[in-house]
Amino acid sequence: MHPAASVILFTTASGAGYGLLLWLALFALAGFAPTTSLFGSVGLGLALALITIGLLASTFHLGRPERAWRALSQWRSSWLAREGVAAIATYVVAGPFALGWVFLHRVDGPFAAAAGLSGAMSIVTVACTAMIYASLKPIRQWSNGWTAPVYLCLAGATGALLWVDLTLAFGAFRPAFGWLVLTLTALAALVKLGYWRAIDAQTPRSTLASATGLSSYGTVRLLESPHTEENYVMREMGFRVARKHAAKLRRLVITMLFVVPLLALSCVALGASPLFAGVATLSAAVGVGAERWLFFAEATHVSTLYYGRAA
């Protein structure tokens, strides 16, 4: 699949934003977050800004962005529509949460309910985003039980990393926050490695013979290309990344998204300079961008069988 920049920005930025919103809600309810207007404004403002940037970026990949609102009506059958509905619901409950925190310095009573719903809807929205891809059976690298956990774990880990940055900046950091991010990052690494192992071990679900219904006639091959010029299917579905390049990018992801943040955050948790948290954040930003690019680039659509791919 063609790794469009708009979709990469959408899934990474909104994932981190929803992850941060989740941790803001949980730690506010637990009493571990400063209830000052400044902290609430910066924290919630950053979370909602990332979410908004991501959602706006997603519309750039649509053929007719001005009609995106029409997709909401298909929530009964479409994960894309469900994601849109969940995103709107998140804004609705995050509003009172932000109002209570920023202007009233309160996260109790009805504002606590809004905080809890904000955290819950953050999880639901990320899960809907993941299911957009996991529900696509023509793409075997996405249609498996690992896709949703990868999205959820990375959203939680990147959001928690931003939470650590915020608490360090406002003097509210606790070593437990650092160990939390370490645990989430390690979990995300294990899930991502499991995903790669699963798609590497999986055999192709379709071949040119099975796709054309000619399996009983022996080997099937194309007589000639169905098109003389590139079309939409070839451009969007036929993108290929060489195996050697994919291996290099996987090593980059492991290093930048997991190894460097784990080492840097270990230093922070043990009392080292807060600058290590900045290193971890910058490294994770590069790593999650590479991870998402590879997520799309490694995906193969069955439609490419009609354009020369054997399986």
Q: What is the pLDDT of residues 178-205, one digit of tens each?
A: 999 999 999 999 999 999 999 999 877 6
Give the CATH number of the domain where residue 236 resides: 1.20.1630.10
Q: Specify the pLDDT at position 74.
A: 80
The mean predicted confidence, pLDDT, of the chain is 88
Report residue 311 CA to chain centroid gap. Answer: 28
DSSP string, 269-298: HTT--THHHHHHHHHHHHHHHHHHHHHHHT
Top pLDDT among 230 and 13 is at: 13
Mean pLDDT for the stretch of residues 90-98: 97
Helix (H) or strand (E) holding 249: helix 243-253
Q: What is the dihedral of CA 239, 134, 288, 266, to 10 degrees?
A: -150
How confident is the model over 213-240, as a mean pLDDT? 68
The 8-class DSSP code of residue 201 comes to H
Confidence of residue 232 (pLDDT cuts 50, 70, 90): low
Three-class DSSP category at 230:
coil
Average pLDDT over residues 84-95: 96
Which residue in 299, 163, 150 sits closest to 238, CA to CA?
Answer: 299
Q: How far apart are CA 206 and CA 204, in angstroms?
A: 6
Domain count, the chain: 1
Percent of the chain with pLDDT over 90: 65
> Are the beta carbons of 198 and 144 closer than 8 angstroms?
yes
Q: How confident is the model at residue 224 (pLDDT cuts 50, 70, 90)?
A: low
- The reported pLDDT for the residue numbered 72 is 76
- The pLDDT value given to residue 208: 67
Q: Is this prediction's pTM over 0.75?
A: yes
pLDDT of the residue at 23: 97
Can you give the residue range of the structural domain that contains 112?
Answer: 5-307
> Tens digit of pLDDT for each residue in 53-84?
999 888 776 666 666 667 777 888 889 899 99
Distance CA 186, CA 190 (A): 6
Q: What is the pLDDT of residue 113?
A: 97
Residue 267's pLDDT is what? 92
C-alpha–C-alpha distance, residues 178 and 219, integer Å: 57
